[in-house]
């Protein structure tokens, strides 16, 4: 098959690496790709969804959509209209990430465990609704907002200011014409990626990611600066409880006729041993993908193809027993203002340590930083401590100006 991967992050680099290993893959493209994906794929400069579909119609048999934005815009519907196989949910199902209100209504309708909430449509309505919640509380702009529309607030003055920012100042425009106010859930966060085939969920191996920028889980939230798999919180008891939740989700997808085939990423909060759903994403997570796919011993392209044809079975998934861990190298200043276009030099000498590219570009044969999260230094080992030792022994062999990374990734959850 001639395959096109849409996206340019570490997730897409990991997808490209895994897909090119498949004997089914005859030719691999990535749009727009990065300096990492260029190792396996021909990077393409295609702009709009229309351009991508036009290219795919002529040159491609199978499309894997990485980011949420084109999924929420309906690129899979466009590809299906042209009879091109595409791995990812259609626009209607993609609302599970594209609209917080849509998701909360879905969770409520199918009796799925989640935080108590209220959707509001104006500043005045929002201020009034605050009286029904204690602090801290969570306020979420309804739309994608490039992942920046969620805030946790400790007091009323902060919450009211954020409501004013959303409804009056319109800092996210139409993405915040609806706002979800939610009770704050305090516990341990775990994430689970599932392949969905005809509305049926097939859970992948578990992972634990690190959101805070500084050691000790201090500082601001990020897109994820480290990760490992498996997550030790996923014991047999928790897996059994989550299996019941997944069955309810599958039932809801079927009842809503969402025709879901793709990835459903579920964020859970574990409170007193009970899982509650924080959010859905409708695509592979990042950096979770960078530690889950290396452990997958099955043919990923074959799995995705079977998911689309609704012929996927549990026995199609074979996993390594080893642990996988990644540490993300970031630009100085991230997740706030940072400089880009810093030349990346050096090379990891250990063949068992692999570097995924998150935000890089290639110019004149050299790689340069092109975002806040730059590289994901990754390895497999028979234990978490072995992975930690190997990564931190070699991560300094790669350099770019202002490179930063956490020193405590892989320390087990207490």
Task: Check if the beta carbon of residue 94 is closer than 8 Å to that of residue 107.
Answer: no
| Vertex 352 angle, CA 350 and 355, to 5° | 85
In this structure, the dihedral spanned by the alpha carbons of residues 287, 288, 292 and 293, taken in order and rounded to 10 degrees, is -50
pLDDT over threshold 90, residue 413: no
Q: How confident is the model at residue 241 (pLDDT cuts 50, 70, 90)?
A: very high
Mean pLDDT on 195-214 = 94
The tens digit of pLDDT for each residue in 243-262 reads: 999 999 999 999 999 999 99
Task: Check if the beta carbon of residue 147 is closer than 8 Å to that of residue 98.
Answer: no
Q: Which helix (H) or strand (E) holds 130?
A: helix 123-130
| Percent of the chain predicted with pLDDT > 70 | 99
pLDDT on residue 414: 55
pLDDT on residue 411: 87
The tens digit of pLDDT for each residue in 116-154 reads: 999 999 999 999 999 999 999 999 999 998 778 899 999
Residue, of 220 and 394, whose pLDDT is higher? 394
pLDDT on residue 221: 84
pLDDT on residue 87: 97
Neighbours of 134 (CB within 10 A): 8
| Residue of 401, 13, 393, 384 whose CA lies nearest to 207 | 384
Q: How far apart are CA 91 and CA 149, in angstroms?
A: 20
**Beta pairing class for 42-43 and 27-32:** parallel
**Beta pairing class for 179-183 and 188-197:** unpaired
- The number of angstroms, rounded, from the C-alpha of 174 to the middle of its chain's C-alpha atoms is 23
Report all structural domains of the chain as residue ranges with CATH numbers, in order of start. 2-91 (3.40.50.20), 122-177 (3.30.1490.20)
Task: Check if the beta carbon of residue 190 is closer than 8 Å to that of residue 312.
Answer: no
Q: How far apart are CA 242 and CA 268, in angstroms?
A: 9
Collect all residues with Cβ–Cβ distance below 8 Å to 393 and sequence separation of at least 6: 350
Mean pLDDT on 26-46 = 97
Reported in sequence order, the residue ranges of 142-244 that DSSP labels E, i.e. its strands, are: 150-153, 179-183, 188-197, 200-203, 208-214, 218-229
The tens digit of pLDDT for each residue in 65-115 reads: 999 999 999 999 999 999 999 999 999 999 999 999 999 999 999 999 999
The tens digit of pLDDT for each residue in 324-367 reads: 999 999 999 999 999 999 999 999 999 999 999 999 999 999 99
pLDDT on residue 124: 96
């Amino acid at each position: 098959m001639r395959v096109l991967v849409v996206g340019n992050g570490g997730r897409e680099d990991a997808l490209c690496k895994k897909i090119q290993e498949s004997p089914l893959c005859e030719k691999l493209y990535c749009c727009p790709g990065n300096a990492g994906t260029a190792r396996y794929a021909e990077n393409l400069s295609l702009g709009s969804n229309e351009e991508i579909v036009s290219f795919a119609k002529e040159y491609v048999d199978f499309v894997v959509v990485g980011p949420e934005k084109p999924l929420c815009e309906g690129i899979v519907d466009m590809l299906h209209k042209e009879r091109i196989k595409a791995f990812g949910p259609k626009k209607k199902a993609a609302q599970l990430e594209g609209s917080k209100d849509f998701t909360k209504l879905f969770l409520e309708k199918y009796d799925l465990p989640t935080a108590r909430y209220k959707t509001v449509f104006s500043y005045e309505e929002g201020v009034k609704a605050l009286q029904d919640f204690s602090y801290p509380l969570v306020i979420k702009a309804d739309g994608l907002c490039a992942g920046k529309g969620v805030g946790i607030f400790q007091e009323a003055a902060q919450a009211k200011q954020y409501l004013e920012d959303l409804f009056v100042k319109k800092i996210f425009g139409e993405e915040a014409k609806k706002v979800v106010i939610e009770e704050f859930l305090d516990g341990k966060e775990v994430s689970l990626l599932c392949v969905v085939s005809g509305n049926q969920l097939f859970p992948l191996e578990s992972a634990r990611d690190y959101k805070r920028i500084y050691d000790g889980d201090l500082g601001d939230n990020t897109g994820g600066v480290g990760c490992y798999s498996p997550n030790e919180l996923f014991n047999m008891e928790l897996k059994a409880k989550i299996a019941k939740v997944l069955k309810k989700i599958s039932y809801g997808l079927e009842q809503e006729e969402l025709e879901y085939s793709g990835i459903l990423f579920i964020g859970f909060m574990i409170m007193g041993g009970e899982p509650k759903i924080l959010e859905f994403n409708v695509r592979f997570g990042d950096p979770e993908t960078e530690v889950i796919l290396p452990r997958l011993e099955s043919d990923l392209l074959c799995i995705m193809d079977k998911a689309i044809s609704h012929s996927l079975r549990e026995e199609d998934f074979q996993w390594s027993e080893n642990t996988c861990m990644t540490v993300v190298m970031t630009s100085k200043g991230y997740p706030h203002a940072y400089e880009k276009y810093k030349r990346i030099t050096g090379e990891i000498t250990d063949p068992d340590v692999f570097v995924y590219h998150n935000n890089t570009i290639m110019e004149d044969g050299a790689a340069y930083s092109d975002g806040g999260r730059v590289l994901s230094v990754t390895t497999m080992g028979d234990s978490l401590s072995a992975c930690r030792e190997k990564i931190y022994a070699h991560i300094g062999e790669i350099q770019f100006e202002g490179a930063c990374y956490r020193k405590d990734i892989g320390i087990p959850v207490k």
